[in-house]
Structure 1
Amino acid sequence: MKNVTPAAETGSESNERLLAVVGYVLFLIGPANFLTMIIAALIAWFRRENAPEWIANHYEFQLRTLFYAIVLLVIAAACALTVILLPVAFLIWLLWTLWVIIRVVVGLIRLIDGRPNPDPKTFWV
């Protein structure tokens, strides 16, 4: 995806940017309340087609964040089913929380700077 920086925002683009910011804020609340991550992903899912390319990039980043978060939580839940792997499940959950916060903060900083994510499909930031 090409690196396009907006010169001047139109009203529609400003609204899309605001919705992307709301999505990132909802993701920040996600480790405490997973429902907010689902709401943010729904916003991203329905808005990504009409958004400018560089903002659609952020929506894709948010959708991938939810997908990877679900996979990690399923792995943690599977580990939690056994008494022996319960500490591993707790460690995965702690690392998951840290990963979500770092990923969302980096995405939010890029959005505020008017930059797309270099690779929204990556697991890392």
Structure 2
Amino acid sequence: MTDQVINTSSTNSGSAKLVYILYLASIVFGITGLIGLIMAYINKGDAPEWLKTHYRYQIRTFWIGFFYFFIGAITSLILIGYIILLFTVIWLIVRCIKGMKALDQQQAHPNPTGWFF
């Protein structure tokens, strides 16, 4: 019985890790971020409480990143947008790495509702 609980937790954790990987892949292949978002929305309901914080963090990462990207794309006409787009890529990488680190330690994300890192 204990093994089954551990395996279920590990499987859920694997799905959350896959979402982080899909987000990182979206830097090159944009559509993978949308796939990761859908996975996060689907898996957050059945997850244990500590894992729900990761899914919440991932969902917010997508939408906030989308907002930053949108602002960067619009302002790229006046050149500052390229700096915003670069910041968005760095921001996404840092958030995903921090999230995967907490996930590997099977800990709840410390600040799933934050806007920055």
After TM superposition, the score normalised by the length of structure 1 is: 0.86
Q: Distance in 1 between matches of 2:97 and 2:29?
A: 17
Query: Counterparts of 2:13 and 2:86 in 1: how far apart (Å)?
Result: 30
Q: Select the structure with the greater relative contact order (CA < 8 A; seq sep ≥ 6).
A: 1
* Moved >4 Å (runs of 4+): none
Aligned length: 114
| In 2, Cα distance between equivalents of 1:73 and 1:124 | 14
Q: Deviations over 1:59-91 (max 9, x none)?
A: 1110000010110111112113x3xx1x21111
- Does 1:26 find its partner at 2:22? yes
CA distance in 2, matches of 1:41, 1:60: 10
Quote the residue 2:110 is aligned against.
Answer: 118
Asked if residue 39 in structure 1 is aligned to residue 26 in structure 2, the reply is no
Aligned residue for 1:10, secondary structure, equals helix
**In proportion to residue count, which structure has more helix?**
2
> Counterpart amino acid of 2:62?
L
Look up the match of 1:15: 11
Question: Which runs of 5 or more structure 1 residues have no equivalent in the other structure?
Answer: 1-7
Verify: 1:74 aligned to 2:66, yes or no. no
Q: CA separation in 1, counterparts of 2:8 and 2:102?
A: 19
Percent identity, aligned pairs only, is: 25
Amino acid at match of 1:61: Y
Quote the Cα distance in structure 1 between the aligned partners of 2:10 and 2:26.
24
* RMSD between aligned residues: 1.3
Distance in 1 of aligned mates of 2:67 and 2:31: 16
